[in-house]
Structure 1
Amino acid sequence: MSKATRATRALEKAGIPFTIHSYDYDPSADRIGIQAAQALGEDPCRVLKTLMAMADGKPACLILPSDREASMKKLAAALGAKSAQMMSPADAERIAGYKVGGISPFGQMRVVPTVIEESAMAEPLVYINGGQRGLQVRLAPGDAAALLRARIAPIIA
């Protein structure tokens, strides 16, 4: 597995401190984020999942703890949209430029609005996908938010 991805290069270019953590990715896992947390021996509230959605027909990225579900109503409100829905896996891969299970908010093919669940900001360090299945980067959530120019909002159901 390569540890150099578009995501890690984006973090390096921005001068953001992070560490790389690999784990055995299980494509048959019911919940990929939970499986990542278990494999890393971390609390799921610190292992964040990256999801892609459509808000008023425009792509958006959302980042939230792996053991929580997103509220599309709250996501739409955070983005100033009337409605939001999850993006199809094929569209998510095309827009983000990463495979499902390896979607990172860093280094995506297109810059899209990003929302980070506000509770994640209370953690000193979080894990976010590093742009490859089985690869996580650990960093300060404030650094992630700054690089992504993310909105911080309550988006969990």
Structure 2
Amino acid sequence: MGKKKKATASTAAIALLTEKGVPFEILEYEHEEGNKNFGVEAAEKLGRSPEQVYKTLMVNHEKDYAVAIVPVGGKLNVKAAAAALGWKSAKLADPAVAQKRTGYVVGGISPLSQKTAHPTLLDAGAQNFDTVLVSGGKRGCDVELSPNDLLALTNGSYADIAAEA
């Protein structure tokens, strides 16, 4: 898997991957306006299993925020995420706050190169794959990379945080 690029506007996530020399691939698809199930849409349009395509969510506890990355076919176990972060509880952050803190729009929030660095958890199930897909920083653009590289770039860690939909 090389640094295969199509004609695309660079995002902060893609710029980081390029700068760090991490092997990755850009996968683009036509996002359908009005479709709010961004992750499942990506999996379907890219012909990938929903277990290998991940969505980036933001959680918070009081004034603390963190990123949780889980398969698009499932949900985040918020209690498990809170426990993994050492918090008493957590909730999904308001989408407007997530956009402001990450610098990306909902449906295109990448865990990579966010405006504000956050503690990051990647569901432990990602270890079952050589590569995973996460948002490349805009709707209709995913990047494929090794889950270990993803964690290295985000200073993240694996945690059992996914729940079935």
TM range, smaller chain: over 0.9
Structure 1 runs, 4 residues or longer, greater than 4 Å off: none
- Name the counterpart of 2:92: 86
Q: Which of 154, 157, 164 is equivalent to 1:151? A: 157
Structure 1 counterpart of 2:8, one-letter code = S
Contact 1:69 1:156 in 2 (8 A): yes
Where structure 2 has 5 or more consecutive residues not aligned to the other structure, the ranges are 1-6
Describe how 1:15-26 pairs up with structure 2 within 5 A.
15-26=21-32
RMSD: 1.2
- Name the counterpart of 2:8: 2
The sequence identity of aligned pairs, in percent, is 38
Contact 1:20 1:137 in 2 (8 A): yes
Q: Distance in 2 between matches of 1:55 and 1:155?
A: 16
For the pair 1:36 / 2:29, whether they are aligned, the reply is: no
Secondary structure of the 1:138 match is strand
TM-score (norm 2): 0.91
Q: Distance in 2 between matches of 1:137 and 1:86?
A: 24
Contact 2:55 2:71 in 1 (8 A): yes
| Paired residue total | 157
Q: Which of 91, 104, 114 is equivalent to 2:110? A: 104
For the pair 1:117 / 2:129, whether they are aligned, the reply is: no
Secondary structure of the 1:105 match is coil
TM-score (norm 1): 0.95
Q: Distance in 2 between matches of 1:9 and 1:138?
A: 14
Quote how far apart the aligned CAs of 1:13 are.
Answer: 1.6
Q: Which of 127, 140, 144 is equivalent to 1:134? A: 140
Where structure 1 has 5 or more consecutive residues not aligned to the other structure, the ranges are none
Q: Distance in 2 between matches of 1:75 and 1:39?
A: 29
Secondary structure of the 2:74 match is coil
